[in-house]
Structure 1
Amino acid sequence: MSTIERNNSTENQRVAIVGTLANTMLGFRGELIRDLVASGHTVFAFAIDYTPATEQEIRAMGATPVSYRMGQLSTNPLSDIKAMLQLYRLFKQRGITLSYCYFSKPAIYGTLAAKLAGVPMRIAKIEGLGRVFTQHPDGDKFKKRILRRIMAALFRISLPHAHKVLVLNEGDKQDLQSFSTKMPEPTVLGGIGVCLKRYPFRPPVTAPVRFIFVGRLLPEKGVRYFVEAAKALKTRYPDTEFILVGAPDNKPGAINKAELDQLVCEQVVTWPGPVEDVAPWLARSSVFVLPTYYREGVPRSTQEALAMGRPVITTRMPGCRKTVREGANGYLIEPHDQAGLERAMLEFIRNPDLIPAMGVESYRLAKERFDVRKINQSIMKTIGVNVAPIASENEMPDPANDWHAKVQTSVK
């Protein structure tokens, strides 16, 4: 019997989920951990920055937290090799039978470590190619071009040792296949999914029209295009509001705290400061805007906005296209198209009646494509582990239908 056949059996697995930050493990991988545990698997959650509090949260999910060392942005090969060897030892010590390594560096070095440790089933998940593969409008510096070649070489070395490669969009699949013809054909998942109970539908606000940006305040995420649109439109439509939700950053080109304070002082944007829960801010918004040119997987922030019933304006980047049905739940623009962004926002300012119907379409799209319960079941079947019956959140009552029917009746 082959390795994959053994792991497609009904035996419970000892699963290593290997990521980077503990908060990401909790926020974006929490539902998968719970579903694996509910299906009878033993789960070890690997992160680089556990605190006693985050360790306790992982244990409350039924998993075991495991700390290891890996520099997120390090380009030191010796440091990365040390991280790989540490993961090798940890996999051996815990008798791991399935490794599930997500994000680029864990996928590269975690997969190689799992191969060395003889882990029977090795999964590499690439959730967007990230900053190294993001092309800037002014061209890329020499150092970045070199880093891109190094990352491509590392993918070429590591991914052939994975039994399954998972990606979130077709663009990443094509790029990875261009790096290596020997790796397994990537499976396109379409998103990591969102808990529809955690981000429930809420009727969008239409008076005043409020645009919201949620994400890191980095130039690649398009935050400066959002701010420039706010400046231009606020002078003509002073009642329109623009909300920035995200932490300031001191990286070159990012929006720092001093600039944020100035924008707030000038009443260009509302900035609530760092928030742990974005749901209340999405609930008080009208339209979600993400003019990104970053090499996203499928932005989790957009999935959350869809689930809560917000029309979306975003770009035709590989990770964003599937979050918008043009004209039905929002608008797609080209990356770096400032005029196109402002035209799309003007459509909602001048025609606020578009917002309710488009919000309902967003919610329906979230139920169809981004229900985390359905996606987790798909992942678990793809990687060959037994799955306990888990009710899809599509079985919940649909609040959007009743609300939309009332809106249509009142309009008539």
Structure 2
Amino acid sequence: MKVLVFSSLAYSLVNFRGDLLKAMIDNGHDVIACAPDRDVATERKLAEMGVEFHLTPMQRTGTSVLSDLRLLFSYVLAIWRHKPDIVLAYTQKPIIYGGTAARFAAAGGSKPRFYALMSGLGQVFSTDADYPGWLRAAVVRLYRTALAHARTTFVFNADDRDDMMALGIINRQQRVVKVPGSGVSLERFPPSPPVTQPIRFLLIARLMRNKGILEFLEASRVVRQTYPGCQFQVVGRCEDENPSGISHEESHQLAAQYGVELVPGTDDVRPYLAACSVFVLPSYYREGLPRTILEALASGRPIITTDLPGCRDAIRPGHNGMLVLPRSAESLAEAMKKFAADPSLVERMGSASLEIAREIYDVRKVNHQLLGEIDLLRSSNTQTLQDVAHSDRHSQKQLRVRAEG
């Protein structure tokens, strides 16, 4: 089949969806990926995978009607030009305008099957969202139109389906399937022994206030009053154009003020995960299931995150991490102090995180489910996944035997 993928950022096509696109190619399908920005490195990697790249203009964070109409028109043209069997869209604007474009294209004779990969409802539905009521109502209506004829809407957490029904975005008859996020490559993110001397807390996220950056900084100040040897690190790109974003200048001022190390974005977070004790994401953004949490699980790290949809889904409190109150530096600091007071929790909960990653979030298993639901899975690959599952069980059994021995 021919698959057309709509995204809002070229980088995400490889970093977040690369394994999925490769799985489509490996199953014998033609894949065209669309994004609004030119990224030479990403386009090269896509070409090496056998994925064709197509540029589609988009104002990622704006509300310009003219800009969004231009995006819709470019999506319709892309569908008419490529004549895909399947259109798959992820993130808010690609889903809204990709789903609407698929309906318009159907009126013109092209009838692709549309699937939406809902990696969270988006910033307008976050708990701190300070948007006018008319804007949220407009987004609800646009979502409803786009998803009305979707074959399947995939959600990443246990709350999104009920919330979408409560908002009137979907009804009970529409097909919604929960998947374990985007999954994580256990080969790309292998486990490593956690650092316990000193205890080092790591936050990886876009530098936006609703990712809990300020709460993390304030919690670091509180924790160091009792445990001055603890270290704190923030890794993330600035979001100057985002209403909740923290600018380059402000980020460096905050890092200096709180004595926290700031790494202004990276293409490879693995060295930072390997060098940390505990991964922290105090987000109150309306997440799907944060990819960074899955990467931390696979790396064998305990998690501290907020008790909110998406963030809490991969956490078993007291087993592989701790849940804290959103927008509460005090609650976050108390959780951090528990690890500082008892470093053995780092190893115990980190091991539990790795088990959960292997059991649930292995990207091979997640992509197998997605391709099966979209009817893109070759029958010969069914046995391959069974072999993977058997191998995982055998490896875990051998680990238990060695541990008991």
Q: TM-score, normalised by structure 1?
A: 0.89
- Residue 126 of structure 1 is aligned with which of 118, 137, 147? 118
- Residue 178 of structure 2 is aligned with which of 167, 188, 202? 188
1:105 matches 2:93: yes
Distance 1:404 1:85, change over 3 A: farther
Q: How does 1:2-401 map to 2 (within 5 A)?
A: 13-117=1-105, 118-136=110-128, 141=130, 143-178=131-166, 179=168, 180-181=170-171, 184-250=174-240, 251=242, 254-265=245-256, 268-387=259-378, 389=381, 390-391=384-385, 395=391
SS in 1 for 2:132: helix
Distance 1:272 1:74, change over 3 A: closer
Question: What do residues 161-209 of structure 1 show as CA deviations (whole Å, max 9, x unaligned)?
Answer: 2111111112211122231327623111131111111111111111110
Distance 1:282 1:94, change over 3 A: same
- Supply the RMSD in Å over aligned alpha carbons: 2.4
Contact map agreement 1:312 1:331 (CA 8 A) in 2: yes
Query: Which amino acid counterpart does residue 92 of structure 1 have in structure 2?
Result: W
Query: Which amino acid counterpart does residue 249 of structure 2 have in structure 1?
Result: A
Tell me the CA shift for residue 112 of structure 1. Answer: 1.6
Tell me the CA shift for residue 393 of structure 1. Answer: 6.1
Tell me the CA shift for residue 338 of structure 1. Answer: 2.2
Q: How high is the sequence identity, in percent, across the aligned residues?
A: 35
Q: How far apart are the structure 2 equivalents of 1:277 and 1:57?
A: 15
Q: How far apart are the structure 2 equivalents of 1:52 and 1:215?
A: 23
Q: How far apart are the structure 2 equivalents of 1:34 and 1:320?
A: 27
Moved more, 246-255 or 227-236: 246-255
Gaps of 5+ in 2: none
SS in 2 for 1:242: strand
Q: How far apart are the structure 2 equivalents of 1:36 and 1:241?
A: 42
Contact map agreement 1:196 1:393 (CA 8 A) in 2: no
Query: Which amino acid counterpart does residue 120 of structure 1 have in structure 2?
Result: P
Query: Which amino acid counterpart does residue 207 of structure 2 have in structure 1?
Result: L
SS in 1 for 2:276: coil
Tell me the CA shift for residue 77 of structure 1. Answer: 2.4
SS in 1 for 2:67: helix
Contact map agreement 2:98 2:146 (CA 8 A) in 1: no
Distance 1:90 1:121, change over 3 A: same
Question: What do residues 309-355 of structure 1 show as CA deviations (whole Å, max 9, x unaligned)?
Answer: 00001111110121111101111112123222111111100000111
SS in 2 for 1:271: strand
Tell me the CA shift for residue 74 of structure 1. Answer: 2.6
Distance 1:260 1:76, change over 3 A: closer
Question: What do residues 202-252 of structure 1 show as CA deviations (whole Å, max 9, x unaligned)?
Answer: 111111100000001211111111100111112321211001111234456
Q: How far apart are the structure 1 equivalents of 2:150 and 2:65?
A: 21
Distance 1:266 1:133, change over 3 A: closer
Moved more, 24-33 or 182-191: 182-191
Q: How far apart are the structure 2 equivalents of 1:257 and 1:404?
A: 51
Distance 1:272 1:105, change over 3 A: closer
SS in 2 for 1:108: helix
Contact map agreement 2:282 2:304 (CA 8 A) in 1: yes
Distance 1:289 1:403, change over 3 A: farther
Tell me the CA shift for residue 404 of structure 1. Answer: 12
Tell me the CA shift for residue 402 of structure 1. Answer: 5.2
Distance 1:267 1:341, change over 3 A: closer
SS in 2 for 1:161: coil
Number of equivalences: 392
Contact map agreement 2:158 2:313 (CA 8 A) in 1: no
Contact map agreement 2:151 2:175 (CA 8 A) in 1: no
Distance 1:401 1:209, change over 3 A: farther
Query: Which amino acid counterpart does residue 51 of structure 1 have in structure 2?
Result: D
Gaps of 5+ in 1: 1-12
SS in 2 for 1:204: coil
SS in 2 for 1:195: coil
Moved more, 45-54 or 309-318: 45-54
Tell me the CA shift for residue 405 of structure 1. Answer: 6.5
Tell me the CA shift for residue 265 of structure 1. Answer: 4.1
Q: How far apart are the structure 2 equivalents of 1:256 and 1:231?
A: 21
Query: Which amino acid counterpart does residue 121 of structure 1 have in structure 2?
Result: R
Query: Which amino acid counterpart does residue 2 of structure 2 have in structure 1?
Result: R
